[in-house]
Structure 1
Amino acid sequence: PSRGDDNLRTLNAFRMMGIEVDEPKVDQLIINGRGLYGLTEPEDVIDAGNSGTTVRLLTGLL
């Protein structure tokens, strides 16, 4: 997977909401869903930086 800033910020946002992201190999990610009510409120503000991709994905998720 790409290690670009947009992707890293999106993965960080997912982790902040309690979503498990495993990286078993350098070129592989496994995102473990939490179900409809499984997200947790982040302890801090999610910083999407300048990532429109992160904001668009989170808008659909939240």
Structure 2
Amino acid sequence: MAFRFLIVFLSSLVIFAAPVAAADSAQVPEANTITLFALGLAGVMLGRRLSRRKSDKPDKS
């Protein structure tokens, strides 16, 4: 119960402090769209390769 209260309390601090902190911060440019797409595609390809490896192994039962 105390852990849940702590999580709610800390998240409310982050939510309500965000506009104050954002007022003094510099703008950060967004990440490159093609880079994000390439990383996502690489993750999908890696996931498919790993799942194929698991399915290629014969069951020991």
Q: TM > 0.5 between the two?
A: no
Query: Which one has the bigger helix percentage?
Result: 2
How high is the TM-score relative to the length of structure 2?
0.26
Larger relative contact order, structure 1 or 2 (CA cutoff 8 Å, min sep 6): 1
How high is the TM-score relative to the length of structure 1?
0.26
Bigger CA radius of gyration? 2
